[in-house]
Amino acid sequence: MSRIVTIGAAQLGPIAPDESRASAVNRMIELLKQAGDRGCNFVVFPELALTTFFPRYYEEDISKMNHHYEREMPSAETRPLFEAAAERGIGFYLGYAELTPDGHRYNTAILVDETGKITGKYRKVHLPGHSEYDPNRPWQHLEKRYFEPGDLGFGVWRQHGGIIGMAICNDRRWPETYRVMSLKGAEVIVLGYNTPDVNTSAFEPNHLRMFHNHLTMQANAYMNSAFVVGVAKAGMEDGCMLIGGSCIIQPSGEIVSQVSSVDDELITYSADLDLAKMGKETVFNYAKHRRIEHYGTITTQTGVELPPELSEAAE
């Protein structure tokens, strides 16, 4: 049985605050058509792919932000995306803001199979930024105000002949994200992101934004023997520049396909999932080589207990 899966990374350019769902969905359908023409089995869209990155705006009354959230999936507005994908036999990953019937708010991604059925859901665990208005920032990053940390853990799903795991944006900077999924056998880890090209909480040279974007995904692809597909919403979104750099990374850690724009752009790669299996059976054979019983005791939530002189410095 073939273990080749043709993966599409469907980067989106900016979505204006007043751009309709219908327009965002149409843009994604356009990318799906290209994906169909290029033989894709599976397409990855960005984080919060249906709206502008609204956590950059402060709103005292959170319910005034409700129009950015989805209460059902698919809805009348998003169903055409599901239909266009199913017509072409393409599965997909889609990020969006979720408002549950009992009032919980999550930064969510779903996995959809080639028939248009939702097969998996992930809710972002690592929420960056802050929860109150910060006058010192040129724009806000209020994910902690508008979302709760995800309550579903890092799941994996069997689809397209392989094992797929999902993460969202800031999760990609945390090794635990990948390791938990790889312990469950993940061969393809997919994630969407919205990353401003400036760190507004402390000075950081600009070039590091893209360097860290790729560094985290490439290193973790290798260390967990998995394909990693990272897909941006990119470009100048209402005055905030979002990095692009969407790419497909193979288990060696090498980027095998990368976008060249900060606009709507599809890149594709035919991935041989047996490459992930090979790493899991050799260098990263956990049963054979991983020795957690020799790692020392993890005594606190934040990590290993430090000697007093170091723990003072750490504060």
Measured distance CA(16)–CA(53) in Å, rounded? 9
Q: Quick one: which of 34, 44, 275 has its CA closest to 166?
A: 44
Span interacting with ligand CDT, options 26-34, 156-164, 189-197, 293-301, rule CB under 6 A: 189-197
Give bridge partners of residue 190 from the DSSP assignment.
Answer: 166, 229
Least Å distance, CB 169 to ligand CDT, is 3
Which structure tokens are listed for 63?
A: 């319910």
Residue 36: which residues within 8 A CB-CB, separation 6 or more? 88, 90
Positions 30 through 69 that interact with ligand CDT (CB under 6 A): 47
Quick check: 159 binds ligand CDT (CB under 6 A)? no
- Cβ proximity to ligand CDT: between 162 and 230 the closer is 230
Which contacts of 112-116 are long-range, i.e. CB under 8 A and separated by 24 or more positions?
Answer: 112/82, 112/85, 113/159, 114/41, 114/85, 114/86, 114/89, 114/90, 114/160, 115/86, 116/82, 116/83, 116/85, 116/86
For residues 290 and 225, give the distance between their C-alpha atoms in angstroms, rounded to a whole number: 14
Smallest distance from the beta carbon of 128 to ligand CDT, in angstroms? 4
Nearer to ligand CDT, 46 or 279 (CB): 46
170 lies in the site for ligand CDT, by CB under 6 A: yes
Tokens standing for 48?
Answer: 């919060």
Strands 240-242 and 188-193 turn out to be unpaired
Residue 174 or 286 with smaller CB distance to ligand CDT: 174
**How many residues of this chain bind ligand CDT (CB under 6 A)?**
10
Cis peptide, bond prior to residue 74, ω within 30 of zero: yes
Q: Does 173 bind ligand CDT (CB under 6 A)?
A: yes
Selected binder of ligand CDT within 194, 224, 225, 268 (CB under 6 A)? 194
* Side chain identity at residue 277, one-letter code: K
Structure-token pair, residue 23: 């327009």
Q: Which is nearer to ligand CDT, 170 or 224 (CB)?
A: 170
* Binding region for ligand CDT (CB under 6 A) out of 2-10, 69-77, 192-200, 260-268: 192-200
Which helix (H) or strand (E) covers residue 6, if one does? strand 4-11
Among 27, 123, 141, 145, binds ligand CDT (CB under 6 A): 141
* Inter-CA distances, 301 with 72, 102, 179, 290, 297, Å: 35, 30, 17, 22, 12
Tell me if 255 contacts ligand CDT by CB under 6 A: no
Contact with ligand CDT (CB under 6 A) among 36, 128, 155, 253: 128
CB of 98 to ligand CDT, least distance (A): 15
Closest CB to ligand CDT among 34 and 200? Answer: 200
> C-beta of 26: minimal distance to ligand CDT in Å?
24
Rounded to the nearest whole angstrom, what is the least distance from the CB of residue 241 to ligand CDT in the complex? 12
Q: Are 188 and 227 in contact (CB under 8 A)?
A: yes
- Nearest approach, Cβ of residue 161 and ligand CDT (Å): 30
| Active site members | 47, 124, 169
Q: Closer to ligand CDT by CB, 216 or 257: give it.
A: 216
193 contributes a contact to ligand CDT by CB under 6 A: yes
**Interface positions with ligand CDT (CB under 6 A):** 47, 128-129, 141, 169-170, 173, 193-195
